[in-house]
Structure 1
Amino acid sequence: MSLFSAKAAAALYASMAVFFWGVSFVSAKVVLVKLDPLTLIVFRFGIGAAFLLLIVLLTGERLRFSIKYFPHLFILAILGTFCHQLLQTTSLIFIDASSAGWLISITPVFTVILSMLFLHEKINFRKAVGIIIAIAGVFMVTSAGTENRLELGMNFGFFLMLMSTLNWAVYTVLLKSLRIPLPPTVLTFYITLIGFIVSTPFLIRNNGLGGIPALSANEWGHLIFLGVFVSGTGYWFWAKSLEVLQASQAGVLIYLEPIVTFAAAIVILHEKAMLMSVAGGLIIIAGVAAVNKNFINPFTFPLFRSRK
């Protein structure tokens, strides 16, 4: 395969991963009609872990790791799967999928702030201006259409989504500092598996299985999509793309994710396109782009992604 063909294939892998992650908010919104957030994330983690294990076995990557890294994996799983998905999924009960897609874009800004506070990374004028711009965009998104919807519930949903982005930023900083010596797909598998094990007791306590028989074929399709394609294939494809593309080249595609979410929300959920929300979302992306010089996204390592 020529270098051009290899890069084209890698770009396709990265684009498909971004597409899966963008649609994930819409799929979660569909399934939440019948399932509570905990039941949804348990099934998503279970399906995702099983699929990732299959990928690891097929690719022949090693599963063994030193037991001294288990506490690190456990902390990352609590933050990156259980807490993150519980906050994000619960927020989707109250806010539109498109709004969630715009807000998740601000995660890199939180990451830069935390890196400055705890990893002693410097902030310059460009980053400061980008942060201010992104925050202004957040205010626009969260204020769009409040007069037509239940404002208290919306505000709670926006709060949960912003907390999920902050939580993911904390997770990112920890992941960067812990440096667990495992291949990306294996690391993703263990974090997803631990998230599944930790969340399962809550499913049993809440009798979450009661809603499963009520799922339609369409809702089952979205649930399987979340497990196989969002939690499994997306990370796998992203890792494959980074074998060929530079981190900055793949990172540019991340900025398309909220656009995918926005389009999918209109097509699948028939959400209305509010000018204020769209403008705010684009301003968030502009601010994040200013924070991340040359559109280099801090989530170019596959586990740095939301999502997820």
Structure 2
Amino acid sequence: MPRASYAPYAALAASVLFWGLSFTATKIALEGLSPSSILFLRFGLACLLLLPPALRAGALRLPLRVHLQVLAVSVVFPGCYFALETWALRLTSATNASLIAAAIPMMVLALSCAVERRIPSLRSMAGVAASLAGVAMLVGVGAGPGGPVNTGDALMLGAVASAAVYMVATGRLCANVAPLGFTALQMAWGALFFLPMFLADPPTPEPVPLASLLAVGALGLFATVGAFLAYNYALSRVDAPTASLCINAVPVVAVFGAHLALGESVSMGQAVGGAVILASVYASTRPARNTEESAQPA
């Protein structure tokens, strides 16, 4: 295999690493900043880093129709997704949130079949059912009696739904727009989306812990600029099912990072629920031996 052909897979590996560690970084940032501050600073920093090179390269010279399409999907992702995810991480663990996010490919499968009005294979339907059972097990086991984690898990499920809508809507758009231009526009619209929340809930005059500031910087530089550029680049060169399957490794990185940095533990019930989700995703997205699987997860 030519060396250049490894580049998309290296990009996918980088996005998996950055997004997996973003759950831990967000938890650290939340120790000193509100969700609205984290979101605006994260995407504002990404916007400042990406817009100048995108303008110089002429990557933003797109038809008005394409600009409106990018705006529409940006409201869903990063807008709704990261708002729900960040608020969820105030109320649930990084481990729980990352494992719930593993259900994204299953929701993408169900949504894409509904939009295209086709019936998925029996294996795909079994995978959806198993994944939903794993999420139910994970949320049920992870919730303490009367604790706020139930709300956090529900918000994370909303984030999963937002990601599914985004992936189904942007499958072709990503292939027709240069990764730099597409990502820069996402960051710009994301910053504008979170600006009113930031103005309504600005940071307090109290000093912000250095760890929180460093975490926001890492979110903007690595989990936003680096991960989005890498993933959008990979999507332009690797088929969507392959990219989706690689992204399923994000919860593994997230759990490992939360264990090392935050001391979070994983109960047996949570481990079983997460294993059910990952196993169902793998079984549903791997190619069939004789027929091509009908699902296109992005």
TM-score after normalising by structure 2: 0.88
Which runs of 5 or more residues in structure 2 are unaligned? none
Residue 263 of structure 2 aligns to a residue in which SS? coil
Kept in 1: contact 2:104–2:161 (CA 8 A): yes
Q: What's 2:271 paired with?
A: 278
- The equivalent position to 1:233 in structure 2, one of 197, 218, 226, is 226
Q: What's 1:140 paired with?
A: 137
Provide Cα deviations, 1:76-134, integer angstroms capped at 9, x if missing partner.
12111221111111011111101111110101111111112222233110011101111
Residue 274 of structure 2 aligns to a residue in which SS? helix
1:112 aligns with 2:109: yes
Q: What's 1:71 paired with?
A: 68
Residue 169 of structure 1 aligns to a residue in which SS? helix
Give the deviation of 1:291 after TM superposition.
2.5
Q: What's 1:168 paired with?
A: 163
Q: 1:188 to 1:298 in 2, by over 3 A?
A: farther
TM-score after normalising by structure 1: 0.85
Give the deviation of 1:294 after TM superposition.
3.0
Give the deviation of 1:48 after TM superposition.
1.4
Cα distance in 2 for partners of 1:201, 1:156 equals: 24
Matches within 5 A, 1:215-226: 215-226=208-219
- The equivalent position to 1:291 in structure 2, one of 284, 291, 295, is 284
Q: 1:34 to 1:119 in 2, by over 3 A?
A: same
Q: 1:279 to 1:30 in 2, by over 3 A?
A: same
Kept in 2: contact 1:108–1:298 (CA 8 A): no
Cα distance in 1 for partners of 2:142, 2:76 equals: 31
Kept in 2: contact 1:76–1:175 (CA 8 A): yes
1:103 aligns with 2:100: yes
RMSD over aligned CA atoms reads 2.5
- The equivalent position to 1:87 in structure 2, one of 84, 87, 99, is 84
Q: 1:258 to 1:232 in 2, by over 3 A?
A: same
Q: Aligned AA for 2:16?
A: V
Q: Aligned AA for 2:256?
A: A
Q: What's 1:33 paired with?
A: 31
Provide Cα deviations, 1:210-259, integer angstroms capped at 9, x if missing partner.
26x63222221110111111110112223444566565554442222100
Kept in 2: contact 1:28–1:223 (CA 8 A): yes
Q: 1:77 to 1:247 in 2, by over 3 A?
A: closer
Give the deviation of 1:74 after TM superposition.
2.2
* Stretch deviating more after TM superposition (117-126 or 157-166): 117-126
Q: Aligned AA for 2:150?
A: N
Cα distance in 1 for partners of 2:296, 2:187 equals: 21
Residue 294 of structure 1 aligns to a residue in which SS? coil
Counting matched residue pairs gives 293
